[in-house]
Amino acid sequence: MLRFGLLGPLLITHHNVAIPVIGERRRVLLAQLLLEAGTPVSTDRLIGALWSGTPPRLAKQALHNQVKRLRDALGEPAGRRLATGADGYLFEATEDELDILRFAALESAGRAAADAGDWAAAAGAFADALALYRAQPLADVPERPVFVDAAEYWRARRFQATRRHLDALRRLGRHDELPDPLTELIREHPLDEGLRGQLMLALFLGNRQAEALAVYEQTRRLLVDELGIEPGPQLRRLHSRILRSDQTLAPPRESAGPRPSGGADAVGPNVPRQLPATIRHFVGRAEHLHALSAAAEATDGHEGAATVLSVEGTAGVGKTALAVHWAHRVADRFPDGQLYADLRGFYPGAPPAAPAEALHRFLTALGVPPQRIPAALEDQAALYRSAAAGRRLLILLDNAHDAEQVRPLLPASAGCVALVTSRVRLVGLVASAGAVPLALDRLSATESADLLARRLGPERAGDRAALASVADLCARLPLALNILAARALTEPTRPLAEYTAELTEEGARGRLDALNAGDAATDVRTVFSWSYARLDEAAARLFRLLAAHPGPDLSTRAAASLAGLEAGTARGLLDRLVGAHLLTRLPGPRFAFHDLLRTYAVELAEADPEQTRAATERAQDHYLHAAIRAALLVSPLRIPLSDDGSPTPSAPEEIPGEAEARAWFDAEHTVLAGLIGQAGRLGLDRHAWRLAWCVAEHWDRRGRYAEIADTQRIALAATERLGDRTAQALARGALGRALVQSGELEAGHEQLNLSLAVQQEDGDESGQALTHQALAHMYARRAEHVEVLRHGEHSLRLFRGAGNDLGVGVALNVVGWAHSQLGAYHLALDYCREGVELARELGHRLGEAATLDSLGEVEHHLGDYAAAAAHFRESVDLRLELSQPQAAAASLTRLGETLLAGGDPVSARRAWAEALALLDGIEHSDAADLRVRLRALRDG
């Protein structure tokens, strides 16, 4: 039998034999996975836990290695529990095997028994749960923020379970068992008057009156010394009654068995139970439920104030479902009742609910006669705070419009928790009431499929691919998923795949039409419109115009240029859209819609095609302006594009240097691909080919050859429509280089020859020089080194004639490498050394890296393995710094060959393993050859 333990030092046993997990990172990895047992944990989160914000260069590969080592350390059968998921890893453990799961089950059973009045069963369940605690939770796991929070959470759970256990013992009349555990709790919480009162009562009921009075005196001295206050009125009243030996303090002993179910009297007077019914098909949200509980526990009674929590998110994301589900889970912690109000913050055609309306209902529920409720809002709020004082209440304020609406409804006393949901960010509530905010995003892919599966039943849920497709088309938004599920349930014979087709093929309007269950509250379009209608006109205009952007996200400056605004003005409007949860802020900062909100924005934009077209062109101009600058910074060897009179954007990007240019290209990679496609579809041919020209060089360094080929085909079609021969030559040259890199040598050769022919006719010497270099590379792939030398020498001559020193440096490398392949190593050495010196003189790091690699190759053949290895390592470092994974992998491969030839197979294996990780990261076909080499080296 396997056992896993987190409630103390990390523990794994198999048939009661401990399995040691040695190594800090393996313990961190196992602890993180066990904390979320049964739930996939993403690679990013695991990397963050393992390396505390400073991951290694090859973090994913390093994580994979740690997982493998952990599996090996666990052995059989425990190692099999660690499974690989789509985007991370998960650990499978049952309730009987993992102590935190067992604790949760026992605690739940104890609560259920207490609710039924079966105090013996409750006491037994809580005692069994508490016995699982061996020491402080996660006691020997390296300190990480996530583990500090988790340990605090499980300490708080233990504290609450202990209090419930003691309450059950008290009700059973087992007073002699209470003083020791109460004394232990008081050591941990010395200022908790409630615990001290329980200890006094337990001592008195156990015929230890003098000790009870001594506890009061000790408590009084502590409070006066530490806080400068006297004990509270409840503790003072208890002290007075013990002084009088008041025998009515002894409650009637309750039966050990369950009490019979009663009617209203079983609940007791003025104990409201107003929570709506919980969501039947609620799934997932484990992290959010944990976060709410942890926040409530952490702030419980803090400085005598109530706890305020807020759940914020876009329309239809499931805020109410989460809040109601959590409220039901914790309802038994609030024995004095639960209050609920729908504040109608975003209902169409109706104002938000007045705070007085909710206050009147709350006061009545708390037992205040209607005739005693004052007319003034301020007086109502004061009476409400008085009625809530001394009670443990949960107040759920749903669908709040703003902080001003919520403030009068907040209790003031410790022991109360107010949970607020809203579509807007309640910053004022965070500032004034210390609210703990929780942002709710869409469901994960797994949670979305699980929701559909649970609603549709096992027969229709068997096709997981169809479930995943439908979930994605519903943007993983709970409202949309439930609407789609409701439709599917009313059409039980209709295949799920048909809904995929319906959501895909009908365009923006049809897609939203498909997500309509027949009334306003279950119509995605209508629900979105309630949030949109609350926007001012400037923010609403920006929301519509953002539909002109191809996505998936954009920067502040791009949004500003698209709308024709200055950056500062756009920043304020974007903040308003984020605050309304109609837009999501990403790191950067960047901003994005989810797919259904984008669809809604597109539908709105269709009503004004002229404005939308103008916004599209402004966006295209913005990115073209930035891309031209970035392209020349990344590769100054390229021939600058001629000025075509494009307007300067209203908020141009700031790209001061090469590093920023590379970072900009990486951040905008998907956007640029979308813009080129958009330009091709809309006939913006000038933008299409120029953007494609700009991205080609950087994408080549990233190994994105298929994308280069796709975008250059769009560019080529655009140049043909424009009748621009020079632009056609550029597009064919870029297309040819991409095809060569992809291994399509014949097709690439054809495009390069066509490009060269146009350049020769036009007398474009610089263009010819670049194309000769590309042809040299193509012939190198064929191992036709005489042709490599011929084209390299053509390129060198043309660049020298044009006075282009950067081009000369690159061509020197090509010629030197060709000589080395033909066996003329000393001649090759001269060319390569001249090329390295020139590259360093010009600060051309890209050329320096390439020529160092060639120099290492030459020295390897000359037998100077130490010099060759040194130059390969220099080249690798530069190429990694320049974010060239494929080129760095090539240099590492050659470094491995040199190390092996020099008699160092261990270092060779290390170099090839690093190269393999780089190639796997870009899914390059050369990885297969490296695997063969590594196996041969290992087996040999």
What's the gap between Cα 596 and its chain centre? Answer: 19
Rounded CA-CA distance 242/238 in Å is 6
**Is pLDDT of 476 > 70?**
yes
Confidence label for 32 from pLDDT (cuts 50, 70 and 90):
confident
| φ/ψ of residue 355, rounded to 5 | -55, -35
For 900-910, write each residue's pLDDT tens digit.
999 999 999 89
Rounded CA-CA distance 104/162 in Å is 13
Residues 6+ apart with CB under 8 A from 796: 808, 811, 812, 814, 815
Rounded CA-CA distance 530/523 in Å is 11
* pLDDT average, residue stretch 446-474: 76
pTM listed for this prediction: 0.54
- Looking from the CA of 318 toward its CB, the CA atoms found within 13 Å total 30
Closest by alpha carbon to 442, among 583, 317, 288? 317
Burial class (CB in 10 A: 0-12, 13-18, 19+), 674: middle
- Looking from the CA of 302 toward its CB, the CA atoms found within 13 Å total 14
| Per-residue b or e along 653-666, where b marks 16 or more CB atoms closer than 10 Å to that residue's CB | bebeebeebbebbe
Q: For residue 524, what pLDDT is reported?
A: 66
**Is pLDDT of 795 > 50?**
yes
Closest by alpha carbon to 748, among 767, 732, 728? 732
C-beta of residue 40 within 8 angstroms of C-beta of residue 90: yes
For 571-601, write each residue's pLDDT tens digit.
999 988 887 777 878 767 888 876 677 777 8
The angle subtended at Cα 810 by Cα 808 and Cα 812, nearest 5°, is 65
Which amino acid appears at position 461 of this protein? Answer: A
Q: For residue 900, what pLDDT is reported?
A: 92
Handedness of CA 201, 206, 209, 210 (dihedral sign): negative
DSSP 371: G
For 366-410, write each residue's pLDDT tens digit.
877 666 778 778 888 888 888 888 788 999 998 898 888 999 999
Q: For residue 299, what pLDDT is reported?
A: 56
Strand pairing class (554-555; 590-592): antiparallel
The beta strand positions in 161-234, using DSSP E, are none
Listing DSSP states for 501-533 in one string gives HHHHHSHHHHHHHHSB-SSGGGBHHHHHHHHHT
* pLDDT average, residue stretch 452-474: 74
Q: For residue 51, what pLDDT is reported?
A: 80
* pLDDT average, residue stretch 331-336: 81
Rounded CA-CA distance 867/857 in Å is 10
C-beta of residue 707 within 8 angstroms of C-beta of residue 699: yes
* pLDDT average, residue stretch 241-261: 63
Residues 6+ apart with CB under 8 A from 18: 11, 12
Confidence label for 653 from pLDDT (cuts 50, 70 and 90):
very high
Query: How many Å is the Cα radius of gyration of the chain?
Result: 35
Q: For residue 855, what pLDDT is reported?
A: 95
C-beta of residue 916 within 8 angstroms of C-beta of residue 734: no
Place of tokens 């989160």: 45
Q: For residue 302, what pLDDT is reported?
A: 47
Q: For residue 419, what pLDDT is reported?
A: 94
Strand pairing class (394-400; 417-422): parallel
> Does the bond joining 552 to the residue before it have cis omega, within 30 degrees of 0?
yes
Strand pairing class (554-555; 307-312): unpaired
Helix (H) or strand (E) holding 617: helix 609-634
**Is pLDDT of 340 > 60?**
yes
Distances in Å between the Cα of 582 and the Cα atoms of 349, 445, 579 are 20, 21, 8
Rounded CA-CA distance 85/73 in Å is 20
> Does the bond joining 408 to the residue before it have cis omega, within 30 degrees of 0?
no
Using DSSP, state whether 2 is helix, strand or coil: strand
For 132-184, write each residue's pLDDT tens digit.
988 888 888 887 767 776 777 677 778 778 878 888 888 887 878 888 888 88
Q: For residue 62, what pLDDT is reported?
A: 80
**Is pLDDT of 755 > 90?**
yes
Rounded CA-CA distance 450/465 in Å is 12
Answer left, alpha or beta for residue 467, where phi above 0 means left and psi between -120 and 50 means alpha.
Answer: alpha
* pLDDT average, residue stretch 613-635: 92
How far apart, in Å, do the first and last CA atoms of the chain sit?
A: 41
* pLDDT average, residue stretch 277-305: 72
Using DSSP, state whether 365 is helix, strand or coil: helix
Name the residue with higher pLDDT: 869 or 501. Answer: 869
For 553-578, write each residue's pLDDT tens digit.
899 999 999 999 999 999 999 988 88
| Per-residue b or e along 394-421, where b marks 16 or more CB atoms closer than 10 Å to that residue's CB | bbbbbbbbbbebbebbbbbbbbbbbbbb
* pLDDT average, residue stretch 522-544: 78
Helix (H) or strand (E) holding 436: strand 436-439
Mean pLDDT, the chain, rounded, equals: 83
Q: For residue 664, what pLDDT is reported?
A: 93
Of 78-82, 303-307, 835-839, give the lowest mean pLDDT range: 303-307
Provide the Cα torsion 916, 917, 920, 926; round to 10°: -20
* pLDDT average, residue stretch 669-676: 91
C-beta of residue 595 within 8 angstroms of C-beta of residue 475: yes
